[in-house]
């Protein structure tokens, strides 16, 4: 089984900063083919008033709470509150209007990853998956704990339903611990370090807090392995997904395949067609 290497390391880029929100990109939007099927990922700290109700169509949002408590609500009748280590996997599909805000007066700190949908499923029915960290199945190795949200790790299967093959793992490791994760060679994948530091891949590339480490792709290799070593107590998220290899046209909260699709999304939203059927 071939070993994956770290092809690139990205730091955070500040895109928005004011009194109530600090928005930093961990994955910059616009590099569609390079990051496929991942569109962007924001590291967001915000208080009440940072966002209002807003629409989405054509993709999924995966929101992971780092600290604080996040209240979410939508026009499809959904809503709830998430705490640290919880995730909200929302398939916008044909359209939804939703909002996110801190519960109470304290700010909330989240990661939000946008995941593309294939053309055939752009207008899929809205779906919300409430993924509580404490309820996720766990793979345990010496000094390491892997909570499996989607995909599999060491024979442990995650509960999230995905439109294309995807992996999401929440990994905590003690200093000195080692772990190997198997991933399809053709999947794009990355590690985001939430806390601590470690060494990653066949070249033992150093990575630290708030870095996004992109894996090389080995599309002809079948299953591959990623080696992780914690050089200090380490907390990270690992994502991987099958590239869609489709055109991407994005306009604000809409991600489609053509300009005509975007125009249709805008028209449908303006006519109120994102409301429940």
pLDDT of residue 175: 98
pLDDT bin (cut points 50, 70, 90) of residue 109 is: very high
Domains of the chain: 2-241 (2.60.120.10)
pLDDT of residue 119: 97
CB 12 within 8 A of CB 43: yes
Q: How far is 40 from 36, CA to CA, in rounded Å?
A: 10
Is the pLDDT at 83 greater than 60? The verdict is: yes
Residue with the two structure tokens 């519960």: 103
pLDDT of residue 49: 85
pLDDT of residue 185: 97
Is the pLDDT at 148 greater than 70? The verdict is: yes
Mean pLDDT over residues 175-179, rounded?
98
- 3-class SS shares of the chain: helix, strand, coil, % to 5: 10, 55, 40
Strands 38-46 and 70-74: unpaired
Residue 40: closest CA among 19, 57, 24: 24
Is the pLDDT at 275 greater than 80? The verdict is: no
Mean pLDDT over residues 2-13, rounded?
98
Residue with the two structure tokens 């709470």: 65
Is the pLDDT at 65 greater than 70? The verdict is: yes
Q: What percent of the chain has pLDDT over 70?
A: 99
> Which residues, listed in sequence order, are joined to residue 152 by a DSSP beta bridge?
157
pLDDT tens digits, 204-239: 999 999 999 999 999 989 999 999 999 999 999 999
What are the DSSP calls for 119-173, one per residue?
GGGTTPPPEEEEE-GGGS-EEEETTEEEEEEESEETTEE-----SS-EEEEEEEE
Q: How far is 264 from 160, CA to CA, in rounded Å?
A: 30
Is the pLDDT at 180 greater than 80? The verdict is: yes
Is the pLDDT at 193 greater than 70? The verdict is: yes
pLDDT bin (cut points 50, 70, 90) of residue 77 is: confident
CB 66 within 8 A of CB 107: no
Mean pLDDT over residues 135-140, rounded?
98
pLDDT of residue 72: 87
Query: Which one has a higher pLDDT value, 196 or 273?
Result: 196
pTM of the model: 0.96
Q: How far is 118 from 197, CA to CA, in rounded Å?
A: 35
pLDDT tens digits, 241-265: 999 999 999 999 999 999 999 999 9
3 state SS of 216: coil
> Which residues, listed in sequence order, are joined to residue 55 by a DSSP beta bridge?
97
Is the pLDDT at 277 greater than 60? The verdict is: no
pLDDT bin (cut points 50, 70, 90) of residue 273 is: confident
Mean pLDDT over residues 24-47, rounded?
97
Is the pLDDT at 276 greater than 80? The verdict is: no
Residue with the two structure tokens 């955070």: 12
**Long-range Cβ contacts of 252-259 (<8 Å, 24+ apart):** 253/54, 253/55, 253/56, 253/57, 254/55, 254/56, 254/57, 254/58, 255/39, 255/57, 255/58, 255/59, 255/114, 255/116, 255/117, 256/57, 256/58, 256/122, 257/119, 257/122
Supply the DSSP symbol for 53: -
Dihedral in degrees, nearest 10, Cα atoms 227, 85, 94, 35: -30
Give the N- to C-terminal CA distance of the chain in Å, as an integer.
49
**Mean of the per-residue pLDDT values for the chain?**
95
> Which residues, listed in sequence order, are joined to residue 130 by a DSSP beta bridge?
88
């Amino acid at each position: 089984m071939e070993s994956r290497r770290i092809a690139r390391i990205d730091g955070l880029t500040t895109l928005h900063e004011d009194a109530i929100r600090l928005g930093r990109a961990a994955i910059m939007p616009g590099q569609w083919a390079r990051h496929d099927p991942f569109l962007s990922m924001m590291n967001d700290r915000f208080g009440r008033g940072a966002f209002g109700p807003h629409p989405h169509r054509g993709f999924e949002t995966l929101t992971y709470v780092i600290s604080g408590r996040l209240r979410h609500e939508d026009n499809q009748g959904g809503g709830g509150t998430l705490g640290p280590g919880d995730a909200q996997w929302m398939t916008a599909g044909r359209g939804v209007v939703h909002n996110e805000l801190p519960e109470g007066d304290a700010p909330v700190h989240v990661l939000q990853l946008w995941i593309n949908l294939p053309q055939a499923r752009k207008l899929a029915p809205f779906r919300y998956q409430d993924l509580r960290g404490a309820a996720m199945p766990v793979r345990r190795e010496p000094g390491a704990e892997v909570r499996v949200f989607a995909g599999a790790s060491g024979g442990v299967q995650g509960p999230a339903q995905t439109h294309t093959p995807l992996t999401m793992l929440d990994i905590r490791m003690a200093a000195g611990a080692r772990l190997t994760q198997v991933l399809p060679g053709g999947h794009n994948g990355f590690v985001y370090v939430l806390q601590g530091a470690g060494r990653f891949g066949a070249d033992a590339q150093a990575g630290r807090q708030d870095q996004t480490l992109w894996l090389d792709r080995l599309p002809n290799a079948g299953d591959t392995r990623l080696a992780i070593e914690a050089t200090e107590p380490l907390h990270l998220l690992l994502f991987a997904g099958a590239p869609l290899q489709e055109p991407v046209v994005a306009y604000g909260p809409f991600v489609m395949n053509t300009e005509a699709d975007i125009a249709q999304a805008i028209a449908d939203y303006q006519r109120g067609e994102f409301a429940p059927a």
